[in-house]
Amino acid sequence: MSSANAVTSSAVNFRKSNETTRNLNSEPRRERILGFVDSFEPSLQRAIHDFHQNDDKLRRRKTGAGGLQGAEKI
């Protein structure tokens, strides 16, 4: 009996998975998701830009005035 229950449970889960995939692939749903993602793009671009600027500042601070050339001489 337990193997029959496992097969039934597996079939139900597969059907739910297919329904979810169909819902996510529908055009209106895709447009809403893309609109939501696009709404974050300006802040994401700003965060990436700030990250690179801070990374450059930190790198310059670690290497000092001589930059990497001074570190290579050691």
Mean pLDDT of 31-58: 85
More confident site: 45 or 3: 45
Judge whether 63 and 70 are in contact, CB under 8 Å: yes
Cα separation, 28 vs 73, in Å, equals 61
Per-residue exposure over 11-21, b if at least 16 CB sit within 10 Å of its own CB, e if not: eeeeeeeeeee
Kindly report the average pLDDT of the chain as a whole number: 72
Tokens read off for 57: 């500042």
Q: CB-side exposure of 63: number of CA atoms within 13 Å?
A: 15
Q: Give per-residue pLDDT as tens, 47-68.
A: 888 888 888 888 887 776 555 5
For the cut 70, the answer to whether the pLDDT of residue 1 exceeds it is no
